[in-house]
Structure 1
Amino acid sequence: MKNSFLLLLLLCFLTGYNNQKLNHLETVTKYYNARDAANFNTIKTVLSDSITIISGDYIMPY
């Protein structure tokens, strides 16, 4: 039972490790291609960023 759990855990770790980020050139190319095609949903995914400013008890997410 213990060996099967470790094997399953290792398998899940190895299959989930393929998530790679785009490099800067690919990001810029994808942005301009989406802008030329007026595909704003793709632009939103390329430029997705979030900032949270906390001032005392007030939290303002951007």
Structure 2
Amino acid sequence: MLFLLLLQFYLVLLLFLLLLLLHLALPFFLLLLLLHLALPFFLLLLLLHLVLLPFLLLLQQY
């Protein structure tokens, strides 16, 4: 009986710690998700910039 009580206590404690860890890690996960979603757009913008920059420089020469 005591063993079951201790087991239950440890399970609740473990669950609490897990929830705390999730709560602390959530902003980082959201930030990573946002970065992951924004990355293709950043790459596209970089590509456009690298492609358009020589054209703009050529246009300025004339």
TM-score range, shorter chain: 0.3 to 0.5
Bigger CA radius of gyration: 2
Q: Quick one: higher RCO (CA 8 Å, sep 6+), 1 or 2?
A: 1
More strand by share: 1
